[in-house]
Amino acid sequence: MAGDERARLIRAATYASTSVALVLVVAKLVAWALTGSVSLLSSLVDSSLDLLASAITWLAVRHAMTPADREHRFGHGKAEALSALAQAGFILASTVGLVLAGIERLMMPHPIVREEIGIAVSLLSIALTAGLALFQRHVVRRTGSVAVTADALHYRSDLLVNVAVVVVLFVTARFGMVWLDGAAAIAIALYLLLGVRAIIGQALDVLMDRELPATDRRRIEAIVRAHPAARDMHGLRTRSSGTTRFIELHVAFDPDLPLAVAHRHGDEIEAAIKVSFADAEVLLHHDPYGIEVPERDPT
């Protein structure tokens, strides 16, 4: 995918998530004020954090797409991973408040009023969040953005949270099980914790320069070895930053080849790699075949 198209999709995903979060915060705030449901309050808190997280994601993506400069030769792509870690922090903070609110409601339960308002708002949330989740899934599949991935994980959990709120409000209204409101708030908070590990893990992979998946590395090796002039390869090192993948490798050529010819072959291999890895930065070192070169790659 071209860089401009990739940037357009990622920006569209951040605009969509921020807009949806803003609409849901206003709607849930009104519904909570009218119903007094603590499970609806938990959903409101989650949507409020979503709004803040989506705004930070928008800023991070905007910064990550800033071209490389003299002080940041490898670009600003890791800003996406930093925003993902910020989202994880928001989730952790929200779960503490939700658990405390749930415990308080379990100890002092009271009836929920005007349940139909809370159900209507939750159904609206389900519709908007489902549409957003589908769009974010499309963007992640096309771009691999870490920030949008974290945002998408957030909203997928919201989808289940809103379903749970509808069930709680309906059951409470029909059967008078007022304790279920507090129990649902605690269950929702604990569920939110499940997404934190995945978000933190993916963000740390980018910040710690984790290698690309083994399938990608094997594909790079196959591309190199398919070139008739490549006698051997070693020292493959890869990492990702934002939507850019960095690929470094050593390729051995016949030592009798003129430097200009070897350089041309290297350019051909780099071009072939970039066909399979859009927007990749490829650094290829030319080595003479048969001469031992110190190996820096621990594998």
148-174 residue pLDDT tens:
777 777 677 677 777 777 777 777 777
Q: At 241, phi and psi to the nearest 5?
A: -145, 110
Q: Which of 26-40, 98-112, 260-274 has the highest mean pLDDT?
A: 260-274
Q: Determine the pLDDT at residue 112.
A: 59
- Tokens in use for 245? 């993948």
User: How confident is the model at residue 215, as a pLDDT?
Assistant: 93
Residue 266's pLDDT band, with cuts at 50, 70 and 90, is very high
Amino acid letter, 37: S
Average pLDDT, the chain: 80
Residues 32 and 42: their CA atoms lie apart, in Å, by 10
What residues contact 208, with CB distance under 8 A and at least 6 apart? none
Q: What is the mean pLDDT of residues 172-189?
A: 74
User: pLDDT band for position 111 (50/70/90)?
Assistant: low
Q: How confident is the model at residue 249 (pLDDT cuts 50, 70, 90)?
A: very high
Considering only CA atoms, which of 193, 143, 175, 163 is closest in space to residue 1? 143
**Euclidean distance between CA atoms 125 and 251, whole angstroms:** 54
- Rounded CA separation 78/61 (Å): 9
Specify the higher pLDDT residue, 199 or 287. 287
So what's the pLDDT on residue 232? Answer: 93
Whose tokens are 């320069």? That residue is 209
Which residues are within 8 A (CB) of 276 and not within 5 positions of it... i.e. 6 or more apart? Answer: 219, 220, 223
Q: Is the dihedral of CA 189, 190, 195, 196 positive or negative?
A: positive
Residue pair 162/122 in contact (Cβ under 8 Å)? The answer is yes
> What domains sit in the chain, N to C, each tagged with a CATH number?
3-207 (1.20.1510.10), 214-288 (3.30.70.1350)
C-alpha torsion angle, residues 190, 192, 195, 199 (rounded to 10): -120
pLDDT at 296 over 70: no
Residue 298 corresponds to which tokens in the numbers above?
A: 């621990």
Note if the pTM is more than 0.75: no
Binned at pLDDT 50, 70 and 90, residue 243 comes out as low
Is pLDDT above 80 for 126?
Answer: yes
253 or 95, greater pLDDT? 253
Q: Which residues pair with 240 in a beta bridge?
A: 245
User: What pLDDT band is residue 288 in, cutting at 50, 70 and 90?
Assistant: very high
Which of 78-87, 225-234, 237-246 has the least mean pLDDT? 78-87
Phi-psi region of 247 (alpha: psi -120 to 50; beta: other; left: phi over 0): beta
Question: What mean pLDDT comes out for the span 111-131?
Answer: 78
Q: How far apart are CA 171 and CA 46, in angstroms?
A: 22
